[in-house]
Amino acid sequence: MANGTDYYAVLGVPSSAPADEIKKQYRRLAKQYHPDANQNDPKAADRFKEISEAYNVVGDAEKRKQYDDMRRLGAFGGVGGFNSGSARPSSRPSGFGGTGPGQGGPGTFNDFDVGGLGGLGDLFSSMFGAGARARNKGPERGQTVEQTVEIPFRVAATGGKVPVDIEVNEECAVCHGNGAAPGAQLKPCTECSGRGVISFGQGSFAVNRPCPVCVGRGSIPSERCPTCRGTGEARVRRKVLISVPSGAESGHKVRLRGQGGKGAAGGQAGDLVITFDVQSDRFYKRDGLDLIATVPINVAQATLGSRVSVRTLDGKKVAIRIPAGTSAGKRFKVSGQGIEKDGSKGDLLVEVTITVPGALNEAQEKAMRDFAEASGLKY
């Protein structure tokens, strides 16, 4: 943020605000300034992007800690720092106060550019996202998309393919990522003189960070792209066919290389990470690699014995012999008809339940009474 504005100020919360308060405030502001709800207000899109950028940092525990550390060093203007003066743009910040190496004093930092400082450069890149990398004007890897997908029980058990609709941010096809409307002119950004970065100093300390006006591009279009509203990105929906391995369970993840967001400036596409959520089945339940199928039988079948037909996972029918005197909950095993995974295969366990008729005709009732009397039962 330029001119001393920081992410907490953007969200309108104190730097000591707890995470849930920050999240609540972000949702309120995002709803208020969402472009879909403010189609006649072009400034709302800019405000929404600003809010989202702020929450992307202070809404993440790790990034927030890094950001707070940098604020204390005065990297964001008017907060913390080595001296109490406010932050000031500068093309050449002064040194730390020594006479330079080899002259008996501490070394002098003539240009403290976070892009070449390893950890600090990574820190800024992680906090500011694509904007921090834009000044390199080189290829950028596309967005990695993570999505949870519901998988039918039988597809998860036997393996197969399922179509998945995904949404990703891709380089705008109209402006090709430069944010300019067709025919618009690109002029050097006056805020950063076309560098794409602004140097901010706090006393003897300064850092380079993306220009907030041109978002690190170094240029500003005379007219913003109407498709992406100048962001250089567009939300795209597409369908992907996902292969489900045999024996997949809820929580199982599949990574598809290069199936995520399209890379910018010729960069490699991101990945698609799918997490499975296996649906329940009306007939089968799962216990490890074993399948459990519940089959109802009546009192006569349980008492006298019977045969029942059960369909296996692959659609075949197998006959199960129910011996006389079978009680409810008894299980019968059909070997090798369970779930196959990593070279192992489970069994099909057929569990019987005994159903009691709700109403009897005259002949059925007489037969039951005769049975009860023969058994010495009183009713």
pTM of the model: 0.56
The per-residue pLDDT of the chain, averaged, comes to 79
Mean pLDDT throughout 217-229? 90
Q: Is 225 annotated as a binding residue?
A: yes
Which of the pair, 132 or 141, is modelled with greater confidence? 141
Q: Which residues contact 46 (CB under 8 A, 6 or more apart)?
A: none
Look-up of token digits 């009474």: 369
Task: Sketch out the chain's domains with CATH numbers.
Answer: 139-181+227-280 (2.60.260.20), 284-374 (2.60.260.20)
DSSP line for 2-32: -TT--HHHHHT--TT--HHHHHHHHHHHHHH
- Cβ atoms of residues 286 and 295 within 8 Å: no
Known binder of ligand: residue 214?
Answer: yes
Which one has a higher pLDDT value, 57 or 115? 57
The pLDDT value given to residue 73: 61
Lowest mean pLDDT among 75-89, 115-129, 340-354: 75-89
What is the rounded average pLDDT of the residues 42-57? 83
Which is higher by pLDDT, 59 or 113?
A: 59
Tell whether residue 189 is among the known ligand binding residues.
Answer: yes
338 near 345, Cβ under 8 Å? yes
Q: Give CA torsion, residues 256, 259, 264, 266, to 10 deg.
A: 90
In angstroms, the Cα distances linking 304 to 94, 152, 160, 320 are: 98, 38, 42, 15
Q: Is 175 annotated as a binding residue?
A: yes
The three-state secondary structure class of 93 is coil
Is 192 annotated in some ligand binding site?
yes
Residue of higher predicted confidence among 369 and 87: 369
Token pair of 26 as six digits: 């972000």
Residues 105-136 pLDDT 10s: 333 333 333 333 334 444 444 444 444 444 44
d(CA 31, CA 49): 12
Check residue 177 and give its pLDDT: 82
